[in-house]
A = this chain, B = another copy of it.
Amino acid sequence: MANGEAVLQAILARRSIRRFRPDPLPREMVEKLLDAAMAAPSGNNVRPWHFVVVQDAGRRRQLSQVHRWAYMVAEAPLAIAVCADASSTEFWLDDCSAATENILIAAQALGLGGVWIGIHQSAQYQEQVRQALGIPSRYTVHCLLAIGYPAEQKPPHGRHDPAKVHWETW
């Protein structure tokens, strides 16, 4: 498979993985995920992102209780809280989302799976994550990622929807 094709396949094969094997991830893999995150584009090159890397089981259990769709953080060996200095740029949500997507594609490339868990939509969710991880109040919590070796397999979405594409004009 040519390199370009491998990249497209990784993008298309990525699915939200919510079941994980308990095996911890080598530090080198975690560093590669963070490399990918910080290679994301950033509006005006502000790079407002911060990443809290959580492997401790007790702390992950605490994060898993933030809302009902965060349960998989307890099982996944790795959680990453993506945070931002939101006062520094009007593009913090774009930048954190691009970094998060890079992590998920890099995880796919490394044979891992992961899921993106929204946090920024609720001040209460954000505060719970801040308290669990000692994040200063001036930082916005964008999302949590649960990542690990997948214990479930899913076929690619294959959800190219022509109704969402407009040629030249709407």
Interface segment, one of A18-26, A33-41, A147-155: A33-41
Say if the beta carbon of A66 comes within 8 Å of chain B: no
Number of chain A residues whose Cβ lies closer than 8 Å to a Cβ of chain B: 70
Q: How far is the CB of A139 from chain B (nearest CB, A)?
A: 8
A47 to B109, Cβ gap below 8 A? Answer: no
- Across-interface contacts of A53 in B (CB, < 8 A): 165-168
Say yes or no for A50: interface residue by CB 8 A criterion. yes
Chain B proximity of A34: nearest CB distance (Å): 6
- Find residues 1-55 in chain A having any chain B CB closer than 8 Å to their own CB: 1, 3-12, 14, 16, 31-32, 34-36, 38-41, 43, 47, 49-55
**Does A118 contact B91, Cβ atoms closer than 8 Å?**
yes
Query: Which residues of chain B are within 8 angstroms of A16 by Cβ–Cβ distance?
Result: 41
B41 touches A12 (CB 8 A): no
Instruction: Enumerate A65-121 residues with CB–CB distance to B below 8 Å.
Output: 90-91, 93-94, 97-98, 100-102, 104-106, 108-111, 115-116, 118, 121
Q: Which residues of B contact A3 (CB under 8 A)?
A: 1, 6, 9-10, 109
In the bound complex, CA of A43 to CA of B8 (Å)? 22
State whether A40 and B101 are in contact (beta carbons under 8 Å apart), knowing that A8-B109, A165-B53 are contacts in the complex.
yes
Where the two chains meet, the residues of A that have a C-beta atom closer than 8 Å to any C-beta of B are 1, 3-12, 14, 16, 31-32, 34-36, 38-41, 43, 47, 49-56, 59, 90-91, 93-94, 97-98, 100-102, 104-106, 108-111, 115-116, 118, 121, 133-136, 143, 156-157, 159-161, 164-170
